[in-house]
Amino acid sequence: MLSISDFLQVSKDAVRLFPLVNPQRKCLQLQTFKVLSQARGAEIGSENLGAVPSEKDTPFFWSRAWEEAGFNPNALTFSWPVLTVFEIVNESQQTVFQKGYARSYTLEISVLDIYKDDCVLGKNTGCEARPVNQIYLDTEVLLDSFFQYLTEVIVAKTSADPTPKVYYEPWLKAQVLSAAITSYDTLYSLGNTLAAKNKGVTFARVEYPAQKIYGTKSQIVFTSSVCPTVTYETSAPSFALVPFEAGCRDCS
């Protein structure tokens, strides 16, 4: 199974790889990814969504604009629309005193965009001239597209690489067609995991009128197995002298 960190990385990649169909309509391409904290209201209205430069190589933040600027730590920037993930709660599915117990995360996923109220006077067209109701519809399409990406994420072994890795399955199929690989073996499907826990999903509109931010959100449940996170070194003369060794042992 994928961990919650893996799920966030997949979500970040979904934004990073999101295609630009029309260069004149960048509002129809996800531009930024951000995992929100409990201070999400303040983060959404802040200059940089609460992001910091040290999040560059983590699964918590990515910005197309920042990447195009060379990830300058002194000029962290982002653009709209933004895909956000916020963890509402997580709970164990069995006793926590059992090895490899399952944990379910209830996640709020949103696509947010900004309303340019000074650009809707008939002089502008395209993204900047959209009324709020059009932003609702556009962000709904982007959220649907994100969910469709998740359905095609798998863990697989390939004829060229026996190590299980996360792949976007259409890319793997293209590799087979181009003869870059001869075959692949699917070990895990994120889409199947999500479908099992999300039979029906409710969507709702989001509005932060003071910041002129609007969008669409939904809640999904993601389930993962929990691996042991520490191992004790029992051969040491004193436990007090030896730190924990991080690692996951026998998590099947």
Tell me how crowded residue 213 is: count the other CB atoms within 10 A of its CB: 20
Cα separation, 143 vs 31, in Å, equals 13
pLDDT band at 107 (very low <50, low <70, confident <90, very high): very high
Q: Residue 225 domain-assigned? A: yes
> Which residues have a Cβ under 8 Å from the Cβ of 142 and sit 6 or more positions away?
28, 30, 81, 83, 111
DSSP 227: P
> Does residue 53 fall inside a structural domain?
yes
How would residue 242 be classed by pLDDT, with cut points 50, 70 and 90?
Answer: very low
- Given strand 203-208, what is the order of strands in its sheet? 61-63, 32-35, 82-92, 102-114, 213-225, 203-208
- Poorest-pLDDT segment among 26-30, 62-66, 138-142, 170-174: 170-174
Number of independent structural domains in the chain: 1
Q: Is residue 208 part of a domain?
A: yes
- Is 185 domain-assigned? no
CATH code for the domain in which residue 241 is found: 3.30.70.1700
Degrees, nearest 5: CA angle 89-92-98: 155
> In this predicted model, what pLDDT tens digit does every residue of 202-220 receive, in sequence order?
999 999 998 999 999 999 9
Is 15 in contact with 30 (CB distance < 8 Å)?
yes
What is 91-140 written as a DSSP string?
EESS-TTSTT-EEEEEEEEEEEEE--GGG-SSS--GGGG--HHHHHHHHH
Containing structural domain, residue 138: 4-153+198-246
Two tokens at 122?
Answer: 């008939």
Q: pLDDT above 90 covers what percent of the chain?
A: 54
pLDDT for res 239: 44
Length of the chain: 252
Instruction: Indicate whether 17 pLDDT > 60.
Output: yes
Q: Is residue 173 part of a domain?
A: no
Statement: residue 2 has pLDDT above 50: yes
pLDDT at 33: 97
In a domain, 179, yes or no: no
Residue 72 falls within a domain, yes or no? yes
CA distance 18 to 11: 11
pLDDT digits (tens, 9 = 90+) for 121-148: 556 668 888 899 999 999 999 999 999 9
